[in-house]
Structure 1
Amino acid sequence: MTTPQQDRATQGGEPRRAAGQAAGQQQRPRPAPRDGARGGRGDVPGGVRPLSAFGAADLDSAGGKGANLGALLQAGYPVPDGFVVTTAAYARVLERGGLADRIAARLAEAQTADGVDAAAAGAAVRAEIAAAQVPAELRAAVTAAYSALGGGPVAVRSSATAEDLPGAAFAGQQDTYLNVAGADAVVDAVRDCWASLWTDRAIAYRHRLGVESAQVRIAVVVQAMAEAEAAGVMFTANPVTGSREELVVDASPGLGEAVVSGAVTPDHYVLDPGGAVRTFSPGRREVVVRAAQGGGTVEEAGTGAADGRRSLPQEALTELAALGASVAGFFGRPQDTEWAYADGRIVLLQSRPLTALPPAPVRMNRFQRFMAPTLYEMFTVRPYPLDVTAWILPGPGRMVQEMMTELPGARLDFAAILPEVDGVVDRFAPPAPRPTWRTLTAPVRLASRIRRYDPAAWRGDPRLAEFERRVADLESDRLADLAWRDLMRIPHRVAAAVDLATALRVDYLPAAGLALVRLRLALRRLGLSALFADLVAGARTRTTDCNLALNELARRVDADPVLASSFAAGDPQALVERVREAPELAGFREALDGFLAEYGHRETASALLLSAPTWIDAPAVVLGAVQGLVGGGADPRPVDPPRRAVEQVLDHPRLRDRPRARARMRRRVEAARTGTAFREDTHFEFTRVLPVLRRAVLEAGRRLAAAGVLHAPEDVWHLRLEELERLDAPERVAADRAGALRERVRLRAARRAEYAGAPMIAATTLFPDSADPGDALAAGTPGGGGRATGRVRVVLDGDAFGSLQAGEILVCPYTNPSWTPLFQRAGGVVVDTGGPASHAAIVAREYGIPAVLGTGSGTAALADGQAVAVDGDRGRVTAAGGRESP
């Protein structure tokens, strides 16, 4: 009895070779062919051909696995010989007796509004295939090929036409059968592989990637079984750090099934390109999978302990490193491989593109090391092409460029921060401004602006009034009534409005920055530099006003038993429906509408993401925050830390009995707070344009989908603004042009799917302190002083705001102003991203709670209910007692 082995999930990502580049171009030297590596036989009739007959261009007939292995075998790599039962053989079986029509009918019967019911469709189709007869000529061809291979034990591996591809690895979706013995058993295993194309998981996976199940075909690779002493996987780049100069090997005794299925904790090696071991973690050998006598596999009990022994000798590691580097060069990108060590040699069992791979580490200068952790807070989600072209570059990106040009006189290309591959942003490149001749005259420009523009008076500037007028004009447009050309003008009208906000920032920031510098210097002279953060935290901002308004909504709930009952029982999305529809909640509905009218433009994810909804588009986020505040009775804006800091400064011996010096220090504190408020409030104002710009884009997507140009309105995010602007009205787009657009969307969506799970920059690059936390659970940069102990609450996005309970340790991937209400309930904060100047650090200091920033992986390392101690002075999170139930 054979046992199925599911191919494992993988991680990584790398740009494809240029179109038309041969597989062997720009490759590293590869090993000479071993004896017997090439099949050498002619084609066998009946849809069966030698594995050596296939190459990288034979995806349609051999599937992804077969094409890759055939290419390696042809090139002389140590791949076990074998044969392929082609996709044509599978297609012929489906055509016999109307099986293809019956499968199509089964899929149609399982169709739902959201796609195909995978469980219903999968069971029905698998039953059809299990009952199908393998044609005599195909059975004879498989038997002959098996006999020519030697008639011994073989591995029978599924190889679909939509697997082992960039953006669609299909890892774990089809089955492999090991140690299959006998011609009849091989034929049965081939049929079982065909059926595995229709597992529930495979159908659901294809639906998620937008791959039509009816268009997928499957081949089957049959190879001589490698009697492995040890086996495992090798990534030809480091999937954690992104380093292309390291190879990562997981190995364990016996067959590789134990490693790829997760049944064993393997030996873990990180190798340099020459095979030298940089780090080694011994495995536990919980089980050992071996070939069973007569076919199939058996599990033997292992030691279950990490005894420090290595599964592989050094010469095998050296050979693996050389093979890995060569195979990556052969395919033109990092690879995820499976291998076995048998009879003193390494054989390759599989190679596919390494997906979800972080960008390669970069060397950063001092400015990049300082700024990148804070900037990355806004880039934790990969922007779409329309995010970049309709908002980031003409809006906040242009704002940053103008500030760099006008103030320090530096050159900064914001587009270089977000380099693209095939129309999709593939990484975050920390900015590196370069000085220009204007840098020499920067002091003159700064001095002029400092004299002319007092941040305390910015709200009286006529440019702010003009900005507000333009925003009101944009909001008054009925988008559904606009002609296509007028709709396409909205992004430019938005950019012109943001230019006014940019001008305000450029003019008023110098004085704001000078006020902060003066306060810091004054505190340094007094030996009180540690109080700087608390002193500037006392500024009243629009975020403060927003938090007060949220608390007012929460107090309404506290005062109304009907409201309180609704908020206690419902999740935020259900609350939205109830608030919108229940007559008895009319008063709260009116208050919520007023709140959203004032603050609904606040971002849910990042001010740089047009594609992410704002609060007015996602009121569940607001109601989740209110849920977290209900019953708390907390002051939304604690003032004790700033007040105590001011009193401590004024009580300094050098100020205590000097009224004029004390008054001067008060003015410096107030000026610094005003500067801090200016930065926060201009951010609040310029993002007012986000909702209307987002609605305009979605209206364009709706029209294009209604006209059949796009499959769905949300596909519009995969297009660039200039591509939309070149279109006539959607109903006049020619069929061939529409088809080209849909194909462009499909390719970009596939590229984006390839990057799913891959950060835009490796955490170890941004936060080197987090790479080795030592005996801590997580470590990073101190962000807010003090120490707190509590239960962990992991909050990944706004949908979970209501889950945070008073005193819990908030653990999150990033923060922005939307997260501020949570800080008044949290006992401490742990954030994957950010630095001392990030939003989380500023707000944590404002609320007087400890914070650890830039942990890199705090959300993965910590779990709900875990009791931890957060040390905001040292930047460490450690265990505190046992685990508590959430």
Structure 2
Amino acid sequence: MKTALDFSDIDGGMLAEVGGKAANLGELTRAGLPVPPGWVLTTEAYHEVAQAAGLDDVIATGGPGLAEAARTRLLEAPIPEAIAASIRAAYTTLGKAEAVPVAVRSSATAEDLPFASFAGQQDTYLNVVGADDVLDAVRRCWASLWTDRAVAYRDSNGIDHASVRLAVVVQAMVDARTAGVMFTANPLTGRRHEAVIDANPGLGEAVVSGAVNPDRFVVDAASGEILDRHAGDKRLVIRALPGGGTERVESAHDGLCLTDEQVRDLAALGTRVEDHYGAPQDTEWAIDADGTLWLTQARPITTLYPLPETTREGLRAYFSINVAQGVMGPLTPMGLSAFRLLSSGAAGVFGYGPAEARDGAAFMFEAGQRTWIDLTTALRSRMGRAILPRALTMGEARAAAVLTDLFEEPRFSVIHTSRRPFFRAVAHFARRVHAPTRVLQALVRPDRALAYTRRLGEELDRRLRVPGSATPVQRLDHAERMLSTTFPVAVSLMPIVITGYGLFALASKLSGRSMSDMQDVLRSVPNNPTTEMDLELWTLATRIEPEPFRNEPVSELVRRFRAAELPPKAQRGITAFLDKYGHRGVAEIDLGVPRWSEDPTHILGVLANYLRMEDGGDLAPDKLFARGAAEAEAAVARIVATARRRGALRGAVARFGLRRTRLFAGVREMPKFYLVKTLAAVRRSLLVVGEHLVATGVLERADDVFFLRIEEARSALCGGDLRELVTERRAAYEQESRRRHVPRIVLSDGTEPEALSSVAAEGALIGSAASAGTVTGRARVVLDPVGAHLEPGEILVCPSTDPGWTPLFLTAGGLVMEMGGAMSHGAVVAREYGIPAVVGVPDATHRIVTGQEITVNGAAGTVTITENEAAAQDEPVISSA
């Protein structure tokens, strides 16, 4: 096998042989783009040297000294004569002169990938002159695969060190007069086809390394219009020296270093590169003394969020269902299929159900393995503009603010002026869920209204049962039927909830007090299945034997529970708890995710945390909840007294309304409780289908079925082999799981409107008030609740929450969330527990460090870092699973 390949012999499919950078340069060369000539020393050369240096043993040993030990081995290893000869021969092909200036650049197999660019992780050597110096630069490039930063980057992206190899690019130097980088999509706003160009005199290293403030240009790639020009100080220029190497020169360059024509030429070149790859690209470029434009590198822009695919014309606006539900990770393919079926049922409630349930509602889309709602029609209608911001303010306050800003966007001007479609949909909903009957029942016979909520659950349990003799086809039929019909059943409870909150608003008007001043009424409300679950778990912790929970690791607790070897009270109590709540879990809206009944790790970990606490006394969660109920009753009495001073009838109605509010407010959690119960039942049935597909050789494992769509699972019953497809999808799912940023709202041109809006001053953490009160305590940043340990009084800082997080709330002193609004799940539960909470805090999990002392003002919606130095150096809890 040749160890040196010319760019013209390389294509994008040769990642394993030449690494990411060289594969892209070869692809660009073959596409006829202006790439300086060059060649690559393949990964086989690196592998041969690494083997001789004993690198496998170093990697197997691992540990904190891995990077330094690997570098040392490679720097000391001799280059075999055959490889050295190949390098010398290839070097002579780049020019007639004996000393051709070249750039020697690392090209790793884990580099310039669609999900991880690895930009700047390995080394580049510029203006290398002479074959001996090229040999030395090659050796140093090999060693740079093991810099501390490269090792850490691979660790964070879940890439096995042993699987990575390095090729080395040797490319003719461009004696650049001007150079820089160009993104073919705006990396700050996400807007596609808007080129952003950074330019500086001299070599591009000054821009790439961040050593200079370059000139910046923003260009509409389609029209060539230059949207923005910003002159940088350009105080540093890096230049090539005649004998090799570079120098850094202080500069006082006035004006812009690119002409408008050059800016447009660059944007046009970027469009050619993007069109070739079919995705936005991060490129490096240079303009030589003759004015020739060269492309020196291209790689995907990995930070852009993928866009929903749509054939609809015009600018569209999409809202993230994942964000609204507090699930930032991706959904499995089967989970996405379930959401389509659920959305069909939801659309049908309003009279807009699709012809085929599997297609999902017309307003639902997928992108980045997450679900999105198209809000465009609502944005462009008068009724939508009146209702959407108010609705979102309760559940996702920052999204509401972003949406309001979009009202000023001319491309979202109002075109739907009639109110008829809205009222027709509301009337359809009211008929479908028997709203008048439910409202009247809630007002006159609250006992019957609550009995209905329980009866609904019993009826759902009956419908969810599948006979053990059911065939795989029958199980899939039942799954589709339940997923497409459960939403209308569960949402039939909402008129009861709406009655409760409507009366809350009425009491506000009668008393003259704002609803924000009446939040204490909503503390410790009954009939909420989520808070009932949390308190039952706490009560269980007070009744079971403290050993082995105080000493054994969670993994051992799980093993003993599954083997029925826990002490009797604990074994019986946990089993009973899981019988009742085992259908729940973290990220429970995805039926592809295991439930607590399948994997009780989280619940046993929470119990262990509770049992390691000292006696909480008056701060015990059950006592705090009881105190919250008493304070709520006192708040009701105060509000009623205020209303009575304005008239006896006002006082009587206010008392009636607030008592109904407390009775029904907790019911808001029941629709989701029942929907999740449906997902869990469908999951159990699909696992049986998965076992059948394993037996017939279609799948490797039963839970692989969740990496198929429901229609694919049906087709798979006819046979075939889908193991490779599942492997690919699992890998894609794991990659998406590492994505840290998911926009609340994204436009169809890629724009993230939130990035365009004004942001708080540096250091100011401002969100939305969610639960009144002020608390100062130690922050605990948690990204995944499984395995998280929260000391009593610590302030939980997290991206978002769903019911799977709420057992942590019982010991939290306060709550800070990046997502959510006043009526989001975390805010509601925080209020019920009397925990000060602020939600919708931008980048809270980055700007707050575990161990910092922070003050949460839940009434003002502010978070103040009162101690800048972290009291502990703990990493954010990601997962122990």
TM-score by length of 2: 0.74
Please give the alpha-carbon distance, in whole angstroms, between the structure 2 residues aligned to 1:689 and 1:836. 27
How far off is 1:785 after superposition? 3.4
How far off is 1:350 after superposition? 1.0
Query: What is aligned with 1:842?
Result: 828
Deviations 1:452-485 (A, max 9, x none): 23354356445543322244x34x85xxxx7xx7
Please give the alpha-carbon distance, in whole angstroms, between the structure 2 residues aligned to 1:309 and 1:646. 69
Q: Does 1:719 align with 2:704?
A: no
Q: Which runs of 5+ in 2 are unaligned?
A: 379-418, 747-751, 873-881
Please give the alpha-carbon distance, in whole angstroms, between the structure 2 residues aligned to 1:266 and 1:570. 55
Aligned letter for 2:189? T
Query: What is aligned with 2:430?
Result: 446
Aligned letter for 2:594? P
Query: What is aligned with 2:273?
Result: 327
Q: Which residue, 458, 463, 466 being the options, matches 1:465?
A: 458
Q: Which runs of 5+ in 1 are unaligned?
A: 1-44
Query: What is aligned with 1:604?
Result: 586
Q: Write the mapping of 1:773-812 to structure 2, written as runs, cut at 5 A.
A: 773-806=760-793, 808-812=794-798
Q: Percent identity?
A: 33
How far off is 1:351 after superposition? 0.3
Please give the alpha-carbon distance, in whole angstroms, between the structure 1 residues aligned to 2:4 and 2:492. 74
Please give the alpha-carbon distance, in whole angstroms, between the structure 2 residues aligned to 1:233 and 1:834. 37
Q: Write the mapping of 1:546-585 to structure 2, written as runs, cut at 5 A.
A: 546-556=533-543, 562=547, 566-567=549-550, 572-573=554-555, 575-577=557-559, 585=567
Deviations 1:337-367 (A, max 9, x none): 2345765886432101112412469999xxx
Q: Write the mapping of 1:409-424 to structure 2, written as runs, cut at 5 A.
A: 414=360, 419-420=365-366
Q: Does 1:877 align with 2:863?
A: yes
Q: Describe the shift of the 1:127–1:580 C-alpha distance in structure 2 as closer, same or farther (beyond 3 A).
A: farther
Q: Describe the shift of the 1:127–1:861 C-alpha distance in structure 2 as closer, same or farther (beyond 3 A).
A: closer
Aligned letter for 2:339? I
CA contact (8 A) 2:71 2:143 kept: no
CA contact (8 A) 2:770 2:837 kept: yes
Query: What is aligned with 2:324?
Result: 376
Secondary structure of 1:782's partner?
Answer: strand
Q: Describe the shift of the 1:803–1:314 C-alpha distance in structure 2 as closer, same or farther (beyond 3 A).
A: farther
Q: Which residue, 96, 99, 102 being the options, matches 1:154?
A: 102
CA contact (8 A) 2:178 2:202 kept: yes
TM-score by length of 1: 0.73
CA contact (8 A) 1:167 1:752 kept: no
Query: What is aligned with 1:619?
Result: 600
Q: Does 1:853 align with 2:839?
A: yes
How far off is 1:384 after superposition? 1.7
Q: Describe the shift of the 1:205–1:787 C-alpha distance in structure 2 as closer, same or farther (beyond 3 A).
A: closer
Secondary structure of 2:171's partner?
Answer: strand
- What root-mean-square deviation, in Å, do the aligned CA atoms of Structure 1 and Structure 2 show? 5.2
Secondary structure of 1:221's partner?
Answer: strand
CA contact (8 A) 1:804 1:810 kept: no
**Count of aligned pairs:** 791
Q: Which residue, 83, 86, 102 being the options, matches 1:138?
A: 86
CA contact (8 A) 2:107 2:169 kept: yes
Query: What is aligned with 1:813?
Result: 799
CA contact (8 A) 1:110 1:121 kept: no
Q: Describe the shift of the 1:197–1:498 C-alpha distance in structure 2 as closer, same or farther (beyond 3 A).
A: same
Aligned letter for 1:225? M
CA contact (8 A) 2:183 2:280 kept: yes
Aligned letter for 1:68? N
Q: Does 1:592 align with 2:585?
A: no
Aligned letter for 2:335? D
Deviations 1:167-195 (A, max 9, x none): 46565676544332212332454576678
Deviations 1:683-725 (A, max 9, x none): 2233224444334445555665676644565544332121122
Please give the alpha-carbon distance, in whole angstroms, between the structure 1 residues aligned to 2:422 and 2:195. 46
Q: Does 1:504 align with 2:489?
A: yes
Aligned letter for 2:771? G
Please give the alpha-carbon distance, in whole angstroms, between the structure 2 residues aligned to 1:846 and 1:281. 52
CA contact (8 A) 2:108 2:167 kept: yes
Q: Describe the shift of the 1:816–1:102 C-alpha distance in structure 2 as closer, same or farther (beyond 3 A).
A: closer
Q: Which residue, 501, 520, 524 being the options, matches 2:509?
A: 524
Query: What is aligned with 1:34?
Result: none
Query: What is aligned with 1:235?
Result: 183
How far off is 1:536 after superposition? 4.0
Q: Which residue, 367, 376, 388 being the options, matches 2:336?
A: 388
How far off is 1:528 after superposition? 1.5
Q: Does 1:670 align with 2:659?
A: yes
Q: Describe the shift of the 1:653–1:140 C-alpha distance in structure 2 as closer, same or farther (beyond 3 A).
A: closer
CA contact (8 A) 1:238 1:246 kept: yes
Query: What is aligned with 1:6?
Result: none
Please give the alpha-carbon distance, in whole angstroms, between the structure 2 residues aligned to 1:641 and 1:824. 18
Q: Does 1:178 align with 2:126?
A: yes
How far off is 1:813 after superposition? 0.7
Deviations 1:827-877 (A, max 9, x none): 332211112221122223333443322234211121112233334344333
Please give the alpha-carbon distance, in whole angstroms, between the structure 1 residues aligned to 2:358 and 2:520. 32
Q: Write the mapping of 1:728-807 to structure 2, written as runs, cut at 5 A.
A: 728=717, 733=719, 737-738=720-721, 742-743=724-725, 745-746=727-728, 749-750=731-732, 753=735, 756-757=738-739, 759-761=741-743, 765=752, 772-806=759-793
Aligned letter for 2:487? T
Please give the alpha-carbon distance, in whole angstroms, between the structure 1 residues aligned to 2:804 and 2:15. 47
How far off is 1:571 after superposition? 5.4
How far off is 1:600 after superposition? 1.9
Please give the alpha-carbon distance, in whole angstroms, between the structure 1 residues aligned to 2:123 and 2:29. 22
Deviations 1:130-167 (A, max 9, x none): 55332687355314214437733311234467753434
Q: Describe the shift of the 1:882–1:374 C-alpha distance in structure 2 as closer, same or farther (beyond 3 A).
A: same
Secondary structure of 1:859's partner?
Answer: helix
Aligned letter for 2:765? A
CA contact (8 A) 2:176 2:202 kept: yes
Deviations 1:57-85 (A, max 9, x none): 77787654334334545667554x22214
Aligned letter for 2:781? V
